[in-house]
Amino acid sequence: MISKLDKDVAHSIRDLVTRMHGRLKRQVSNPEQMSIAELNVISLLINNGELSPSELCAQLNISSQFMSQVLKRLEGLEYVSRKASLQDKRKSFVLLTKKGKQKIKDTRQEREEWLANLIAKHYTDEDKEIIQKAIGLLLILPDL
């Protein structure tokens, strides 16, 4: 049976994660002015390695015509490339390039440095240990 406390904790975690995610997204410099769709494609490629354009369309619920524009832009920035399928030469897969992977690495580092500065500024060492313990408890949850 789910208690009121369970619901309150779940709400607090969801709310915090949502706000932190939004703030971290805004924190990163975006001189290329990449769109949400472009950032979402990169995110999917980070998590999946390589995907076909049709798989990207399905996961992002966007048209193949729009996906073509997104991929063309990302290819122009040299963040993604395509490779032919070994099984079916008519198919291709999209993957991150070395430059795309470096962009992700730099972006993550930028976000973590920003967050580390906030943590250093607002929390004591004791607070930081409590936060680390809470994160450890959350990581025990299955399916995360």
Are residues 35 and 92 located together in one domain of the fold?
A: yes
Token look-up 């969801």 returns 14
Residues 37 and 89 in one domain: yes
Same domain, 78 and 89: yes
The structural domain count of the chain equals 2
pLDDT computed for residue 28 by the predictor: 72
Residues 40 and 85 in one domain: yes
Task: Please report the pLDDT score of residue 74 as a whole number.
Answer: 96
pTM beyond 0.85: the answer is: no
CATH number assigned to the domain comprising residue 75: 1.10.10.10
> In terms of domains, do 69 and 83 share one?
yes
d(CA 91, CA 53): 9
Kindly state whether residues 53 and 73 are assigned to the same domain: yes
Show pLDDT as tens, one digit a residue, over the chain (144 residues). 999 999 999 999 999 999 998 888 777 777 788 888 898 899 899 999 999 999 999 999 999 999 999 999 999 999 999 998 888 888 899 999 999 999 888 888 988 999 999 999 999 999 999 999 999 999 999 887
What is the span of the domain harbouring residue 36?
31-96
Q: In what order do the strands lie in the sheet containing 80-84?
A: 50-51, 92-96, 80-84
